Amino acid sequence: MRIHARRSRLLASAAVSALLALPLTALAAVPAQAATAAHPFPTHTTYKVGVLPSASQSARDTAVEKQYDAWKATYLVHGCASNEYYVSTKGDGDAPNNGPVSEGQGYGMNIVPLMAGYDANAQTEFNGLWQLVKDHKDADGLMQWQLDGKTCNYTDTGTPDSATDGDLDIGYGLILADKQWGGYTADAKAWLASIYAHDVASDGHLKCEDDGPSTDTRPSDHMLDHLRAFAAYDTAHDWNKVVTRTEAVDSAFSAAYSASTGLLSDFVVGANTSSPKPAPADYQESQPDNIVGYNSIRVPWHMGTDALLNGTTTAATAYALATKESACLKAEAGGNPQNVYPHTKLNCTPYSTGDQAEEAGDSVGPAAMAAGDQAWTDAIWKQLATNPFGDGYYGESIKTLVYVVMAGDYWNPAAAGAPADDFSVAVSPSAGTATAGSSVSATVSTSVTSGSAQSVGLSASGLPSGATASFSPASVTAGASSTLTVTTGSGTPAGSYPVTVTATGSSGTHTAAYTLTVTAGGGTGCTAGQLLGDPGFENGSNPAPWTQSSSLGFAPVTASSSDEPARTGGWEAWLNGNSTADTDTVAQSVTIPAGCTASLSYWLHVDTTENTTTATPDTLKVQVLSSTGSVLATLHTYSNLDHATGYVQHSHDLSAYAGQTVTLKFTGTETDGNGGTTNFVIDDTALNAA
């Protein structure tokens, strides 16, 4: 497995090698195609949310044309074969002799179709870019990720493989070309089939490369606008599954590690679980892969673009993350895009201020637009006209695409003659337990993934003998939810059963998996008891079955001290109180027996130095999560305003979750916005079933 796209700025690589032998002037050697552009530049688009830069539309169009001319003259190269073109990595040294990488080839295959109409040779150039891809495929039918600039031979070690970001952008470029000129349908669908077969894990999340593990992902690959276009264009594969799983991974990660900032680390491990987490340092590349780096600086661009094109309902996850990312990075930079640092911690403080790159600030532009921040949008638009740090192909290619988006000229191929309406379906929790003769419930949610909402009918299959399923209501309008109730008979055999929930609409059928576990009925009802393990945190520094996390790296479960004494025993869970922005969590998964009533209780001590009677910069959320990590309920939110002398006991009724496995989670978030600090100290928890 190769390591993808090492940035020379980060790794202090040697100076850029000599320019290619085949100059850009050779472009004229291949005649232009005659096809008429269906969406000639400028194609003025009305986005579904947000603001545009304050500059006039004509000024914005002119700025894009100027940037495109400069990008094309510097980076679009005719070679290695007479009918091939590639995007040179000049200025970054990502390939020998300034050769192409699949990531850059994908950028080019997006840029050129968008500029058709302005560039009379756009289709010829696109065909040459695509020809190079076809001439350099790996065993899975995807582009070899790194080629020499003179020979176009594969240059990385080991068996040639691909990179998911390049694969996705190449696929999106083929769809753009098909909607722009026509004639690329077969190529586009064959390419998307290869991506689905090799870059998509079985649960639907995106892998980092076609031959890589199925446990990790790279958030900069989470191009949700691309995935929605794939779903509309390629109905032979369940791209809505990929959309739903990608959104779930990003939401779960952010909830645990960047609840207030929305930032996603360069690499994520455990992407096939309900608890994805930052990869360790140097996981894929020689840098701190557990923070925002030269990969994830692209996330605000991708999230913002999805929100702009698809709106706050269809793109709810992207919109929520883009809005948070825009706000935190604006604060980090003090409103100056040059001070958005390429290496940023997940709490939105700089990891290093010694490294700066224009593309870090440029990429925030679409997120700032989606968030409706006019001043921040205008500041980033102004920076686009400059290159203060001398960025090479990577920054200048990103800038060109961001320019098109910010100018209001980025049109949506999913809305250009593709099937307009589609939806997704999910079940939460994805598993439940019922004693024979009893029932268990779950929520079936639907979402509009493209176009307009449609009526969706619900059914279930795979039930054991004696069991029935009902939905309330039995049909919904996409975007709404229904309650699934599975009722077992007294003679239903004990065991675990995979149940398929099927949702049928006018655009097609989608499914979601639910696992039903049936236990033997004893006729004695609920077995009363306290269900939590280590309820007083007395297991100490290894508090299993509790899990814990801190964005600052401090373990919340700590020994009692004179500053914050435990209520009983020698240990407690102490969240926040570090006088800096921080997110801390403690959580435990527990199964509540069917037929029981259940009550969660805990003792909480809140003290604070915040000097306010109205603002709540510091909060503690008490939540119930499903087995997949989605929030089923927020039981209560405490804040610095709840400070009190000593511990106070609180309780919540959890009877509604009987028969289910849920996670109880305490999340403390401190913004450090007012200069004070707040301590949330928890002890002597209990979950009593009766």
Q: What does the alpha-carbon distance between residue 225 and residue 412 come to, in Å, rounded to a whole number? A: 8
Please give the full DSSP string across 289-356, using - where no structure is assigned: TTSB-TTGGGHHHHHHHHHHHHHHHHTHHHHHHHHHHHHHHHHHHTT-GGG--SSB-TTSSBS-SS--
Q: ∠ CA(394), CA(397), CA(401), 5° rounding?
A: 135
Q: Please, are residues 391 and 359 in contact by the beta-carbon 8 Å criterion?
A: yes
Q: What does the alpha-carbon distance between residue 267 and residue 207 come to, in Å, rounded to a whole number? A: 10
Residue 165 annotated as catalytic: yes
CB atoms within 10 A of CB 263: 27
User: Measuring CA to CA, how many Å separate 685 from each of 366, 568, 643, 688?
Assistant: 44, 11, 19, 10
Q: What does the alpha-carbon distance between residue 220 and residue 298 come to, in Å, rounded to a whole number? A: 6
Q: Which residues contact 670 (CB under 8 A, 6 or more apart)?
A: 576, 577, 578, 580, 581, 582, 583, 617, 618, 677, 678
Looking at beta carbons, which pairs linking 482-485 to residues 24 or more positions away fall under 8 Å?
482/443, 482/444, 482/458, 483/441, 483/442, 483/443, 483/444, 484/427, 484/441, 484/442, 484/443, 484/444, 484/458, 484/460, 484/514, 485/439, 485/440, 485/441
Q: Please, are residues 102 and 4 in contact by the beta-carbon 8 Å criterion?
A: no
Of the candidates 140, 165, 238, 672, the residue annotated as catalytic is 165
Of the candidates 92, 94, 103, 362, the residue annotated as catalytic is 103
Residue 103 annotated as catalytic: yes
Which one-letter amino acid corresponds to residue 132? L
Q: Which residues contact 128 (CB under 8 A, 6 or more apart)?
A: 30, 78, 83, 84, 85
Active site residues: 103, 165
